[in-house]
Amino acid sequence: MASPSVVPATLNVELDHQLQQEVNFFLNWGYLVVDNAATPEQIESLREALDESYERHNKNQFIGELLEEDDRFAFLLDNPPVLKRMEAILGTCNSRIL
């Protein structure tokens, strides 16, 4: 008798119809727009932070490290609407492969 697999049979929780459509769109086109991923207040804060960063860099330089520029960008790392879709696309398996 074979030993049970350490890898689950499925890596995703069951997806509702809307989320499955979003996953399919991403798999087909390679990108996904997440509606309402940020509040109007968060967007305004990001705009202010970006404007200030742009001013600090003399308006002539691309700013590639926004997280290091200003703490107001940090909420983008833990954004529930985006993380939900990432989990749906990538799966929920948290085990490390060594």
For residue 10, the model assigns a pLDDT of 63
CA 61, distance to chain mean position in Å, is: 25
Token pair of 56, please? 């600090």
- Between the alpha carbon of residue 84 and those of residues 17, 21, 23, 42, 79, the distances in Å are 14, 14, 11, 19, 9
pLDDT, tens only, 27-53: 999 999 999 999 999 999 999 998 888
pLDDT, tens only, 63-95: 778 888 889 999 888 899 999 999 888 887 654
Token pair of 50, please? 């970006």
Q: Is the pLDDT of residue 11 over 50?
A: yes
**Which pLDDT band holds residue 7 (cuts at 50, 70, 90)?**
low
CA 32, distance to chain mean position in Å, is: 10
Residues 51, 67, 57, 39, Cα dihedral to 10°: -10
The pLDDT of 6-14, averaged and rounded, is 65
**Which pLDDT band holds residue 14 (cuts at 50, 70, 90)?**
confident
Q: Compute the chain's Rg from CA coordinates.
A: 19
